[in-house]
Structure 1
Amino acid sequence: MIFVGNPGTGKTMIARRMASVLKELGVLKKGHLVEVDRSALVSAGHTAQKTKDKLKEALGGILFIDEAYSLTRDVAGLEAIDTLVKSMEDYRENLVVVVAGYQNEMDLFLASNPGLKSRFPNYFPFRDYNEHELFQIFDQFLDEFDYKVTEECKTNIIYSLIEEGIRSNKGNGRFVRNLFEEGQRNQAIRLEKQELITEEDLTMFTSEDFLPLLDEKELIRI
């Protein structure tokens, strides 16, 4: 399978869930995910063996190769691709390989070896999240970690940060996760200066926790 899209659009998450589903359907025996990038496959004089080792580790599950197009940069990377093509045929009964990256670069990846295109017949585009979906993701983090946020913070600060993230092409799921974690760190710093801390304080975000993340233009607008 080929997963095409920008970073933070859920490619790894979907690959992990797909491994579990394929196990339940009886297509895969283990249903685990082995995530690799160029550095896990390529090594001077040892590329073929490193690639084979990762393929064997992934047997019964999914081998997920992120930024697979980086393998086309040099001879060592092309050796990894050659090994991959042969092994996909040898292990086709109990292995799924997913390659991921940007669309244009993945086109170059497929063109780097005549045997690749026929081995990746399933193509899945991952679009960027829109503003509403990013808000939903932030709400999911709140629910997952039992946090709440003041209405003022959510409608003004979080809204502005997500808009800013979209404008600067950072507006995907990973950006929202980083935003949430930055809020946690800033909340901890704020509470450290507070003499009396209630249970509600520990699970409540305020505007102060996210104001440091806004740029000057957004601060002026608010």
Structure 2
Amino acid sequence: MVVSLSQKCIAEFFGTFVLVFMGCGSAVVAGGHVGFLGIAFAFGLSVVTMAYAVGHISGCHLNPAITISLWSTGKISGKDAGGYIISQIIGGIVAAALLYFIAQGKADYSLAANGLGANGVEEGSPDHYSLISGLVAETVLTAIFLVVVHGSTSKNNQNGMFAGLAIGLCLTMIHIVGIPITGVSVNPARSIGPALFVGGAAISHLWVFIVGPIVGGLLGGGIWKLYDSN
């Protein structure tokens, strides 16, 4: 089956929309009911379900850090990478906009008090971790994530049919550890959407959730190449 770039971009838009809407939605709408563990699983399950829904179309990146890492290892062309990243960011923004609209249907909802699932450091961190701690955590967690992405989708991996499950569970694992630090991004598109609506510190610290994941993604790709010749 020949898949056009426009079809791939639509798949990336939709998949990223679902990831941000469900993941951030679990924090904004259901956080008080499910807690950090429930939020972690919402993000992980979003990736698992989208892997099998759009993975055969676009590869289900849903994340500029993944796309850049795969581009750096020659798994995707620059043209496709550019289209993917734009689609992912737009998907995240549309998801945040819809989530904000729905959240306002609750009488006591306040953007300032309840947020929109934006990532943060210092006062914006759930447990008030420093900017440096947040940047290091985002870099390391993304590197781990990308080693799993590269490894589970490698041609040398005989269990490739379970790649979506492995990647989703890895994202869940990362969130279980990382939510208290930054709320967990490891994905610039996931951070950009909510930050645009929340503003303030979410915007001023947004660079942490762009630079950290991109650097971590490149590190993860480099680590994978050290032991896998795919």
TM-score grouping bracket, smaller chain normalisation? under 0.3
Q: Which has the higher contact order (CA 8 A, sep 6+)?
A: 2
TM-score, normalising length: structure 2: 0.26
* Structure with the larger strand share: 1
* Structure with the larger helix share: 2
- Structure with higher Rg: it is 1
TM-score, normalising length: structure 1: 0.27
